[in-house]
Amino acid sequence: MEIDGESEVLEITVTGDWAFMLSYLTVKVKADGFPERVRAGNTLTVLTKRDGRWLLYRDANLLVPDPQFSDAT
């Protein structure tokens, strides 16, 4: 199985010890004997700063079949 992902950061907002990132994610999955599956959609990532380091607080995405690929189901 082969998995490939691409992320396009659309916006980042930093407010004190919190950061919010909006991006567009595309994930392609290939497996022998199966058609390639492509899912894409918006993601919202929330980070918080603790002890001088940014940590993932929450990540939400809605990846659906990408209509640009005719075999995406």
Mean pLDDT over residues 1-27, rounded?
97
The DSSP element (H or E) to which 60 belongs, if any, is: strand 53-61
**N- to C-terminal Cα separation, the chain:** 17
The tokens for 47 are 């980070």
Range of the structural domain that residue 27 is part of: 2-62
Asked whether residue 61 carries a pLDDT value surpassing 80, the answer given is: yes
pLDDT given at position 72:
43
- Measured from the Cβ of residue 22, the count of other Cβ atoms closer than 10 Å reads 14
Mean pLDDT over residues 31-47, rounded?
95
Prediction pTM value? 0.78
Mean pLDDT, the chain, integer: 92
Across 16-52, the runs of DSSP E, i.e. the strands, are 18-30, 37-50
- In the structure, what pLDDT confidence band is assigned to residue 66 with cuts at 50, 70 and 90? confident
Q: Which CATH number belongs to the domain containing residue 55 in this structure?
A: 3.10.450.50
How many whole angstroms separate alpha carbon 57 and alpha carbon 73? Answer: 31
Assigned domain for 28 exists: yes
